[in-house]
């Protein structure tokens, strides 16, 4: 995937920079603070030297004494990510965001891990939360721009493959040329302002309803229809990103992110109240140790202001395995696609 060249596993230097950031907010001054700082510095030294197993031993020993320590828990998540254990790293960082929702760094790292797994909508949500926690977090803004760039690139690339649109091909090239200028270890640096990335505003062509745009261009020659076609492709890509993000949040057992994918007017099944449905979904998700949700062969149909997505859902957990044909009806709410109806065939 395109963004995998940018969203890499957290670098060794990142552990150092974020340990310092967390120390600023999580410790008070005094001898205990100095001792904790020395411990984090030693863990960072071990990681920099590639001694991940030794670093993890130090982290686990520290957590045995202070199980709630934010810096040690954050360090554990980073080390797990560097050990190629993204699922475990995500679990650690998710719990950290629940216990310390005002810390932006765990959200940023969750976004990196989600993006590395192609879960760009989940990455977008995590970055939005990082920015909400710290509106001055430039790194999160740049990462968010890269996520949107990937989604736009995928949409334009699909448009180019479907009808050979020269305009779509040019937009793919423009996006990739601008994003490729980023240094490889983005999570370990403070990004500079890159005005060139305003090319992403090109995705705003999707703001017009696809059906209306298509109708207005129906009698025009193929070259004149390109903007409407690109808009439709971009909307379909955004819908698929939302569905994949929903599945990713479910797989990560992130109840809050999962529920955020449902619209406020979601048609609750079996006539139950929304409160009861939320409680039931929460119990079913948190009651499992492991969840995997895969979306297979999705088909998107745009219907005015709605999008209807049909796909095969492969679900597995420590307690259950199932394969179902599912249909989701999504509507756009506050600029994002949300699930309004959910049916199992």
Q: Where do the domains of the chain lie, and which CATH numbers do they carry?
A: 2-120 (1.25.40.10), 145-236 (no CATH), 247-344 (3.10.450.50)
- Which DSSP string do the residues of 211-267 spell out, in sequence order? HHHHHHTTTS-HHHHHHHHHHHHHHHHHHHHHHHHHHHHHHTT-HHHHHHTB-TT--
Exposure string over 227-255, b if 16+ CB within 10 A, otherwise e: bbbbbbbbbbbbbbbbbbbbbbbbbbbbb
**What is the distance between the alpha carbons of residues 139 and 141, in angstroms, rounded to a whole number?**
5
Nearest to 74 by CA among 7, 25, 136: 25
Q: pLDDT per position in the chain (345 positions), as tens?
A: 333 223 333 333 333 333 333 333 333 334 454 556 678 888 888 887 778 899 999 999 999 999 988 889 998 998 998 888 888 999 999 999 999 998 888 999 998 888 888 888 888 899 988 888 888 888 888 888 888 888 777 777 777 788 776 776 676 666 565 544 333 222 322 223 233 322 212 222 222 333 333 344 444 444 444 444 445 677 888 888 889 889 999 999 999 999 999 999 999 988 889 999 999 999 999 999 999 999 998 899 988 889 999 999 999 998 888 999 999 999 998 888 999 999 987
Q: What number of residues does the chain have?
A: 345
């Amino acid at each position: 995937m395109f963004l995998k060249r940018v969203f890499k596993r957290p670098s060794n230097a990142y552990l150092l920079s974020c340990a310092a950031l967390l120390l600023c907010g999580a410790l008070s001054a005094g001898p205990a603070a100095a001792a904790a700082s020395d411990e984090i510095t030693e863990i960072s030294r071990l990681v920099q030297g590639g001694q991940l197993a030794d670093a993890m031993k130090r982290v686990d020993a520290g957590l045995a004494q202070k199980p709630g320590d934010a810096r040690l828990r954050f360090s554990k998540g980073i080390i797990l990510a560097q050990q190629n254990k993204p699922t475990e790293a995500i679990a650690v960082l998710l719990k950290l965001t629940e216990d310390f929702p005002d810390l932006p760094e765990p959200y940023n790292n969750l976004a990196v891990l989600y993006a590395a797994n192609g879960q760009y909508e989940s990455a977008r949500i995590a970055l939005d939360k990082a920015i909400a926690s710290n509106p001055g977090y430039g790194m999160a803004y740049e990462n968010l721009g890269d996520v949107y760039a990937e989604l736009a690139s995928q949409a334009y690339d699909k448009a180019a493959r479907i009808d050979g649109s020269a305009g779509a091909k040019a937009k793919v090239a423009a996006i990739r040329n601008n994003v490729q200028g980023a240094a490889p270890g983005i999570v370990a640096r403070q990004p500079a302002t890159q005005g060139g990335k305003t090319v992403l505003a090109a995705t705003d062509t999707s703001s017009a309803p696809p059906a209306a745009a298509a109708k207005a261009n129906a009698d025009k020659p193929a070259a004149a229809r390109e903007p409407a076609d690109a808009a439709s492709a971009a909307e379909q890509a955004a819908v698929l990103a939302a569905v994949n993000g929903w599945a990713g949040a479910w797989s990560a057992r992130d109840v809050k992110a999962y529920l955020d994918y449902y619209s406020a007017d979601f048609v609750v099944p079996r006539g139950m109240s929304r409160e009861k449905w939320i409680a039931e979904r929460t119990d079913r998700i948190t009651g499992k140790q492991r969840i995997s949700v895969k979306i297979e062969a999705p088909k998107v149909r745009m219907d005015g202001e709605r999008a209807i997505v049909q796909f095969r859902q492969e679900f597995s957990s420590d307690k259950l395995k199932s394969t179902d044909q599912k249909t989701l009806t999504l509507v756009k709410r506050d600029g994002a696609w949300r699930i309004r109806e959910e049916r199992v065939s």
